[in-house]
Structure 1
């Protein structure tokens, strides 16, 4: 009797588990599960237990969503090599779907554009976002999201006028709130998200005061996914680089309490940058130096440098394929 072929993995259940982990605990804790799940799915593909060559569109959509969720988690965990690879897999799968079912392609491209900016590749980020904005009639919230991606790229290139125009457009397009055309995946792009990214753009442009005000607003918003701790860490970094020592000390003291529960590796790395900025500062109060020394020790324990799988930060080998 021939051995029974293995049962295909339940991709939807895996995706739901990853989403729940990411929302509650963050990427730091979800990344190992994401990698195990990806290995299980790819092993099933290798032995034919999970076929994609002539798969039903619904199955392709489920698989694309799974790879994209895993890619997002690995991005927030600073695992950019596997994140990029899985985003490319998700993108290839979405482009085999009927046109009306391809909205997740836009999510993949938005993450790719953000990843490129995070890795300081603004021209690549700008190409990705510009191709999407030029190519189709987008729902308002999605269009606003890609204008935000454009703004960050322009800011990194030093083009403040275009960056601010892109932000103005994003605010205009999202002023009326959600629309019926917005895809379900865009739920997280709300006022707090826009404020936070607006603040990051202003920080890139050297407007520390404006950046701090918007990041304060984003941090003050209740709810939202776990990765939004990033905005608080970025606020600390902005304040430290501006030499606002009293505000920096108050915020870093508070963040030291929450850092062990912080699930975003990007946020923890931003805290490291804030600590470094204090270390390079002048006339830093003794109390703040003590705070940063304690926080540096905590960060070393929570996210040791050189731990296998952590801080895998490198440039993807090729450009992503933009939206068609």
Structure 2
């Protein structure tokens, strides 16, 4: 009988001896999209070396465009591509719908949801180009990781605005993606800070039989392959402190962990009509009224930061518990 061999992950020191460049193992690479309506959008390609690969589009608010797990794309892709919408948002405007797509679209911070009171659909922040401050691979920490940091500003003279500082981390060799966002009001007057994280999942994560749970309680599913109409958004209160929404389908699991101190709600939305196929998981800071608008929200003093934290964990759908408390 042949002895069973067990594989162990090489140490950082051992890896340096085995490869010419550690980017062979895990990397962040910067490039510019150059085709069609996506042309000119600054992008970072993350590859953790653990099966998780994704693009951060600094030119579109440092959102996540593609996201694949073990070589399979799980993020919903729209026919519009990763374009920038016209910068002409105004009263009743639905410009968001012209560029909506990819794994994450960050919504806010002056408004989310349906157009109201002169605010466009999902606010002024979506797809705003960000300034990239830093990015790279950090092997010299207790947890080696890939990272990037950047900042975007939405502002108009006389109307104030908001500043977002975003840090994205992904442990090297891992299956985890982390966001830490800090948002503050800029300008002379207090103003609300609203946030909705529009995570968009597609086939094969969404397919017949996909199930969604919140904090261990079933919410939706098993889902059908198609539906004849767009589903109305539904809203659920998150558990105090920290909440977990888990989606399982097509042999994969994706779990969203977030701090419910500042994101106390989960909104679900889907369009499973043929040739659409998008399933959206949306942690958010504010409740939704029956007419689809926001409930009231307090104003925040200028310069007082509000912090939003989200962790995304990928796994194969297996019967035993997966590391990282995904279940």
Task: Tell me the TM-score normalized by structure 2.
Answer: 0.23
Q: Which has the higher contact order (CA 8 A, sep 6+)?
A: 1
Give the structure with the larger helix fraction: 1
Task: Tell me the TM-score normalized by structure 1.
Answer: 0.24
